[in-house]
Amino acid sequence: MPKFAIEFVPTDAYWKVVYHAVHAEKAGYDYVWITDHFNNRNVYVLLTNIAIYTDRVRFGPGVTSPYLIHPVMTAQSMASLSEMAPRRVVCGLGTGDKTTLDLLNIERVKPLSAVRETVQLIRELTVGEAVKLEGDVFNVAGARLNFKVADPIPIFIGAQGPKMLSLAAEIGDGVLINASHPKDFENAMEHIREGVEKAGKKMEDIEVVAATAFSASEDPKKALKAATPVVAFIVAGSPESVLQRHKIQIESANKIREAIGKGNWGDVFSNVTPEMFEAFSICGTPDTCIEKIDQLSKIGVTLFITGSPIGPKVHDSINLISKEIMPHFKKA
């Protein structure tokens, strides 16, 4: 039976995000993820409030970048949260959003080494070990937290390319893939299995996570309208190989990129095609969403993140998902 997570981008006031997180817990979600970008509300302020106002749901940053926040500080933050909410904290880790990091002139050097070393630092520090590391990216002369957590903190690693997918499966507790279409997961599963085999694990030992652009509504037109800005930005940020996989013309993607660059939002949204919605979102009525989630589940996805925009109205869409979509899979 698949699990369900929800992701919030903290562009709204902190109280509103926390309100939605509490609502998601009551609606039956298993996880709440909060995105971590410097230009939104601070992820750990929000997660602390979620720890206080929820009782069951698991939560964490989805995802934090070691290029922006040093792994030692991430270990400290995760351990502190775990002390507040034992066995409920998870750490989402990734190399970070290139567009956002470019604004700070931060280069993502040696990403595989950065992720491997970050996982080592977080794991060892949070269980109270003293750490020395002379790595390719991080050098720690000596670090130790003055407290430790009762249970290991699961680490979910964001991955897209073949090598990172394999590494995430090898050293992570979950592989988090920003995608919504079966083609992307069929392509990814081969590399995930490689990593699992390398570590001597079984596929059952890890979560395969679909971080989807999700929009559910009884009115399919409203669902599409809500998802349009998100899909446009996904298309604009997708490499040529991904666009080709989904048979999306490079010229069409370039039109959207150019319109975004000029701030011409009318042109941005008008150039989003049905093929783009199909490739980069799970969007529509509950029945449509169930069908698409079921396809991913059969490929091997075990945890579904209903990500931005979630629906035309977040509160109403959470209710719709919990009443019309989740029960279908809990019966399975």
Cα–Cα distance list, 166 to 32, 189, 197, 224 (Å):
25, 9, 9, 34
Query: Would you state the pLDDT for residue 137?
Result: 98
Which amino acid type is present at position 115? V
Could you tell me whether strands 3-8 and 131-134 are parallel, antiparallel, or unpaired per DSSP bridges? unpaired
Return the domain boundaries, the chain: 3-220+282-331
pTM: 0.94
Q: Which residues of 184-193 are buried (b: 16+ CB within 10 A; e: fewer)?
A: bbebbbebbe
Residue 16, amino acid = K
Give the CA-trace dihedral at 175, 301, 163, 246, to 10 degrees. -130
Q: Which helix (H) or strand (E) holds 141?
A: strand 139-143
Burial zone of 330 (CB within 10 Å; 0-12 exposed, 13-18 middle, 19+ buried) = exposed
Output phi, psi for 31, to 5 deg.
-135, 150
Residue found under tokens 């509490």:
22
- Residue 99: what pLDDT? 77
For the chain, the farthest-separated pair of C-alpha atoms sits apart, in whole angstroms, at 57
Q: How far is CA 283 from CA 30, 230, 286, 288, in A?
A: 21, 11, 9, 7
* Residue 100 pLDDT: 82
Contact 172, 157 (CB under 8 A): yes
Distance CA 78, CA 63 (A): 13
Three-state secondary-structure class, residue 186? helix
* pLDDT digit string (tens) for the chain, length 332 residues: 789 999 999 999 999 999 999 999 999 999 999 999 999 999 999 999 999 999 999 999 999 999 999 999 999 999 999 999 999 999 999 999 887 888 899 999 999 999 999 999 999 999 999 999 999 999 999 999 999 898 999 999 999 999 999 999 999 999 999 999 999 999 999 999 999 999 999 999 999 999 999 999 999 999 999 999 999 999 988 888 889 999 999 999 999 989 988 889 999 999 999 999 999 999 999 999 999 999 999 999 999 999 999 999 999 999 999 999 999 998 65
Tell me how far apart the alpha carbons of residues 310 and 314 are, in angstroms, rounded to a whole number.
Answer: 6
The secondary structure element, H or E, covering residue 278 is helix 274-280
Q: What is the pLDDT of residue 65?
A: 97
For residue 240, CA distances in Å to 180, 185, 232 come to 17, 17, 15
Query: For residue 63, is the peptide bond before it cis, meaning its omega torsion is within 30 degrees of 0?
Result: yes
Given a contact cutoff of 8 angstroms between Cβ atoms, the answer to whether 308 and 9 are in contact is yes
User: Residue 102: its pLDDT value, please?
Assistant: 86
pLDDT confidence of residue 148: 86
For the chain, how far is it from start to end, CA to CA, in angstroms?
A: 6
Under DSSP, the state recorded for 324 is I
Contact present, 56 and 29 (Cβ < 8 Å): no
Give the Cα separation of 191 and 174 in Å (integer): 14
Question: What pLDDT, on a 0 to 100 scale, did the predictor assign at position 332?
Answer: 56
User: If phi over 0 gives left and psi between -120 and 50 gives alpha, with beta otherwise, what is residue 40?
Assistant: beta
CATH topology assigned to domain 3-220+282-331: TIM Barrel (3.20.20)
Q: Identify the burial level of 49 via C-beta atoms within 10 angstroms of its C-beta, where 0-12 means exposed, 13-18 middle and 19 or more buried.
A: middle
Give the whole-angstrom CA distance, residue 216 versus residue 291: 13
